[in-house]
Amino acid sequence: MWRFLAGFGVASVLWGALLFSYKQGWIDISLEPEAPPADEAGVADAPPDDAKGAPARARKKRAAAPKKTRPAASGDSLTGDDLGENDPKNLNVGSAGGEEQLRGTEIEKGFDSVFGQVRRCLILAAGDEPVRGKVTFGLRISGEGKVTAVNLNGPSSVTQGDCGACLRKAASGIRFRTFNGPDMVVHYPLTLE
């Protein structure tokens, strides 16, 4: 009987640690594919909704990049700020800070507010061919609702040069509501076609 209870206790602790790690964003156990099929254009799945279990909604938007005459940079690249994802986290148990975070729908609305700017930035993409692939915006958002760091990961012709600078500026201009919690890091993918 004691072995059963000890095993049950250990299993409960392991499941609790797994759930805690998932909620903190340290691990990803989603079963969704990394990127949508190549024949679908639009925004990939938005960040998950609030912790109450409401499912995230996929939203599709066209983000076509027109042709340009400058030579295209090849390959993928990561440009912009360090989001500090691997920095040590300090827990001050004496402080009155909360654990509130923004919901996925709030992140999506923030990007919707600058989607026109994003489309205009894509005109600056280098190269003769239209840009295809996925560009991922990485944001660090403070509790005041301000974007404090931005990076881009995706095709070099989009993430570097004038286009990349324009996209980072558009994303840094997003304003969210204030929340009583630590800074949060968000990765928001866009599929370009």
Looking up tokens 């059963």 gives: 4
With both helix axes pointing from N to C terminus, report the angle between 115-122 and 161-172 in degrees, rounded to the nearest 10: 170
Q: What is the dihedral of CA 108, 111, 116, 122, to 10 degrees?
A: -110
- Mean pLDDT over residues 16-33, rounded? 66
**pLDDT tens-digit series, residues 85-97:** 877 766 565 666 6
Same domain, 61 and 151: yes
Residue 96 is assigned to a structural domain of this protein:
no
pLDDT given for residue 58 in this prediction:
38
* Residues whose CB falls within 8 Å of the CB of residue 38, separated by 6 or more in sequence, listed in order: 132, 193
Same domain, 19 and 39: no
pLDDT given for residue 92 in this prediction:
60
Number of domains forming the structure of the chain: 2
Same domain, 69 and 120: yes
Residue 175 is assigned to a structural domain of this protein:
yes
Same domain, 68 and 21: no
Confirm if 25 and 141 have CB atoms less than 8 A apart: no
Q: Which of 143, 147, 155, 55 is nearest to 100 (CA)?
A: 143
**pLDDT tens-digit series, residues 40-77:** 333 444 444 444 444 334 344 444 444 333 344 457 78
Range of the structural domain that residue 16 is part of: 1-31
DSSP the chain: -HHHHHHHHHHHHHHHHHHHHHHHTS-----S-SS--TT--EE-PPPP--TT-PPPPP-----PPPP-SSPPPPSEEEEE----TTSPP---TTS--------HHHHHHHHHHTHHHHHHHHTT--SSSPP-EEEEEEEEE-TTSBEEEEEEEEEHHHHSHHHHHHHHHHHHT-B----SS--EEEEEEEEE-
Residue 90 is assigned to a structural domain of this protein:
no
Q: Is the pLDDT of residue 111 over 90?
A: yes
CA–CA separation, 94 vs 185, rounded Å?
24
Token digits of residue 77 = 């690249």
Confirm if 190 and 134 have CB atoms less than 8 A apart: yes
**pLDDT: which is higher, 166 or 71:** 166
User: pTM score, two decimals?
Assistant: 0.58
Same domain, 72 and 7: no
Residue 11: pLDDT band (50, 70, 90) is confident
Same domain, 162 and 138: yes
